[in-house]
């Protein structure tokens, strides 16, 4: 099974709203990473959070990690139409990616 | 600097033919990864190279798939006797160190279509 499992599978919001995506994993990790994939623009790394960190920020992105629950969340604040993409999480253990969350931000 | 490059960008082949996909990682990156992504799906890990260590081949779906990395740099993914279910985008990534410490940088992918 996939190591990183994202939910929801799809999310549709209005521009300016916040979007929250979740990721669950099964084994112990050293780090967890979030990636974005726009159609036609490839896969881009967003943020890496280490197992000893609980929260990390990068611009409008906020990632949390709860190792006791083996879960992470990605929050995008003040969303923009350009944030429309699929978002994936991956852990360093086995480098498995989940199926992703498809985010649509409507202008 | 230059990112990860892959060639060809598109490959159309007939069922039963062999194909070779190439990946040029970022210079100095010791780790190299191959994934494939079917339409609308997530990434499926195929194989991972780290320095001079034996590669992690645990994701290769069958013995028709093989990969090598020459001189610790360029990698070639070979698919023998292609099948229609091999049709997918094949993505290569590299990182400075291993996945436990470093970000993976992805190439643009090779879209493989098996007729």
Q: What is the pLDDT of residue B70?
A: 84
Distance CA A74, CA B38 (A): 24
Q: Tell me, what CATH number does B81's domain have?
A: 2.60.40.10
Q: Can you give the residue range of the structural domain that contains B81?
A: 5-104
**Residue B112 domain flag:** no
Cα dihedral A38, A40, A44, A46, rounded to 10, equals -20
**Residue B69 domain flag:** yes
B43·A42 Cβ contact <8 A: no
Determine the residue of chain A that is closest to B97 in CA distance.
A92
Distance CA B114, CA B13 (A): 5
Distance CA B46, CA B36 (A): 7
Distance, in angstroms, between A92 CA and closest chain B CA? 5
**Residue B113 domain flag:** no
Q: What is the pLDDT of residue A30?
A: 87
Q: Does A43 touch chain B (CB under 8 A)?
A: yes
pLDDT, tens digit, 9 for 90 and up, residues A14-46: 999 999 999 998 888 888 889 999 876 678 889
Q: Which residues of A touch B106 (CB under 8 A)?
A: 35, 42-45
Structural domains of chain A sorted by starting position, each given as residue range(s) with its CATH number in brackets: 5-96 (2.60.40.10)
How many domains does chain B fold into?
A: 1
pLDDT, tens digit, 9 for 90 and up, residues A38-94: 876 678 889 999 999 999 999 999 999 999 999 999 999 999 999 999 999 988 766
Task: Count CA within 13 A, CB hemisphere, residue B31.
Answer: 19
Distance, in angstroms, between B78 CA and closest chain A CA? 21
B105 or B12, which is more confident? B12
Q: What is the pLDDT of residue B101?
A: 66
pLDDT, tens digit, 9 for 90 and up, residues B48-106: 998 888 898 989 999 999 999 988 799 999 999 999 999 999 999 998 887 666 788 99
Q: What is the pLDDT of residue B38?
A: 87
**Residue B60 domain flag:** yes
Distance CA A55, CA A66 (A): 9
**Residue B87 domain flag:** yes
Q: What is the pLDDT of residue B108?
A: 92
pLDDT band at A2 (very low <50, low <70, confident <90, very high): very low
């Amino acid at each position: 099974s996939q190591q990183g499992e994202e939910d929801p599978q799809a999310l549709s919001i209005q521009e300016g709203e916040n979007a929250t995506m979740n990721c669950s994993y099964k084994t112990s990790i050293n780090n967890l990473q979030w990636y974005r994939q726009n159609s036609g623009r490839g896969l881009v790394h967003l943020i890496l959070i280490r197992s000893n960190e609980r929260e990390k920020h990068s611009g409008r992105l906020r990632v949390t990690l709860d190792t006791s629950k083996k879960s992470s969340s990605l929050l995008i604040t003040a969303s923009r139409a350009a944030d429309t993409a699929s978002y994936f999480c991956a852990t360093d253990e086995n480098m498995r990616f989940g199926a992703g969350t498809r985010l649509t931000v409507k202008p | 600097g230059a990112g990860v490059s892959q060639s060809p960008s598109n490959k159309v082949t007939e069922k039963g033919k062999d194909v070779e996909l190439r990946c040029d990682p970022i210079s100095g990156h010791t780790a190299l990864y191959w994934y494939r992504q079917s339409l609308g799906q997530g990434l499926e890990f195929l194989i991972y190279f780290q320095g001079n260590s034996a590669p992690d081949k645990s994701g290769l779906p069958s013995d028709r798939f093989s990969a090598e990395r020459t001189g610790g740099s360029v990698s070639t993914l070979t698919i023998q006797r292609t099948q229609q279910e091999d049709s997918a985008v094949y993505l290569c990534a590299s990182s400075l160190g291993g996945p436990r410490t470093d970000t993976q940088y992805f190439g643009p992918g090779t879209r493989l279509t098996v007729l």
